[in-house]
Structure 1
Amino acid sequence: MLAVVVVMAIQLAALVPLAWASLHGQRITDQLAVWDFEPSAELAGYVERSTMTELGEFLFYATHPEVNGKAEFDSICSSDEEGVGTLGCYLPASSAIHLYDITDERLDGMEEVIAAHEMLHAAWARMGDAELAAISPLLEAQAVAMEGDPAFVERMDFYARSEPGERLNELHSILGTEVAALDPRLEQHYADLFTDRQHLVGLFTVSHQVFVDLENRAEALVAELEALSASIEADYSSYTSGFDQLDADVEAFNARADSGDFPSQAQFARERNALLQRQEDLDALYASISARDASYQTKLAELDGLNADVDDLNSSINIAPRSGDGL
């Protein structure tokens, strides 16, 4: 009897870890992956600056994240859609994160945001059905509240095309890293992964503002150039027609003077002065046109410079040069 009891005890002892492993296999896999990973100082900096909690750090390192240069990154994660730059990807099959190496100092903070975004994909992949069911309607409600933002709608349309079925997964990463005001229940969820989510959103806001400022300045310049062009074209048309009319009137005036057609010297002087005034007015109009043309050329050069900056920034976030005429 004792032997049977002993054997049964051994069997039960063996069954307990097997049952636990069947329920928590991903956690075991993640723990082994974390133990087998030595993060670089760069990756550790991402964790610290994005304010990942111990759980967030654990999930991030469990994916063995890599920072890759363009050629290597594009061979793993890429987008063929024009105007779209892929900066990070989470590969569910291998549970791996790859991050694009952003080197432009003007985009300080963007890499940390991308790292956090991809970590949230890893977190989503590890959430159970009950947690997904609880959080999904909160994510959708937030998305509905943001439908007035054209950029957000366009972005979600892109994900619908490129990653069908992953809407909630992408919302989970976008809202957690980019949107300041969220439902308190979402905030509670993200608090398990970030100690200061507002700081992380601040990094996104500052780096994203670089593009917003360039776009706003470019749009303002385009409007100024269009207004200048319209006024120059209209006034130059007035100038040329006015000059032609003045030339004809001067010729007629000289013919009358040669034939003695003026009844008095005073009449001659009045008409001559009127012609001279028209000449001065046309000269002033031409000077104004020339000044506006110089301003147009200066603003056009500035726009060209902004377009070059946009191309440079786009290149730094893995967007191919534009094939069109620019902003």
Structure 2
Amino acid sequence: MSGLDDVIAAETALSEVDGINGRLVICGHRLDALAGRTAYEGVLALLFADLCRGDEGAIGQKLSQARGRAFAELAYLDDALLDLSVTEGLRALMARLPDGEDSAVALLLTAAPAVFVPALIRRKAGLDAVAPQSGLSHAADMLAMLTGATPSPASISALDTYLVTVSDHGLNASTFAARVVASTRAGYTSAVLAALGALKGPLHGGAPGPVLDMLDAVGQPDLAQVWLSTALARGDRLMGFGHRIYRVRDPRADALKAALHRLGAAGGMNADRLALAEAVEREALSLLHRAKPDRRLETNVEFFTALLLEALGFPREAFTGVFAAGRVGGWIAHAHEQVDKGRLIRPQSLYVGPKAA
């Protein structure tokens, strides 16, 4: 089966993924003009322009109120949910939220992962959940709910960069799932739950956690070449390299690498850890280009995602949930676009089974 490669299944004004030239455009703005320059609320104002009219400040105020409503749902966070993975716990809590196709539902769904993921992390560690604080930005509040402390401006900027960078990325598997469900008029919550289900799969959710496992195994920069060449000789995949769409370097990798350097300059990133990662990246790219010259296997978003989220204090088992906290804006925007301008998605299939007698 083709996996629908190169099949155009929707028209969208939300994002353009140019895999040939390594370019990502969100609502008419190149990623490098957004990442590190605007808060998550700013990109939501673009994605939600036809859904929640208002500028960055207005969206931020409404999102803050929605975080407060989401926190009330943690009364249902019991031991049975804590036995689940962070992703499964997030999905279960999200399933309790009201469904609908209005801006209030959209904002609550957008706010909820930023509340639920830190709470799940803390409760799994035996700590109390931290309530959101009005007046904080979305990224600042998410970090405060994770750590229980006031986050540094550099940390807030780094998380904002991440959330903006992953906010939307064309018709990927989870976004397509959201659009299919939205096309049935099931509601935005149902669409987001479908997207979360798709994101849970390892072929879409990616491998930012295993990137850290690889760095831990390498240990130090001067061992990178030997470790990586041995892994390639075994036929192992090098985590954080290659992408199904991009034939050149993933532009999101550059945005996150720049964020890491800014975080490091402010003292929020372990310099040795960053040096190790950059040594691994250099050696991996060199080895991959020699071993597979017919394929363009460049650094993808997962490589520096792992370093950034680790530096901000998120455990690797929660990385998928943090990704959902950023991508949920795109999911909802696509669901709204499908409801507003699309129709029921109902493709045809080609029967290749046995002939009837």
TM-score, structure 2 normalization: 0.22
Task: Give the structure with higher Rg (CA).
Answer: 1
Higher helix proportion: 1
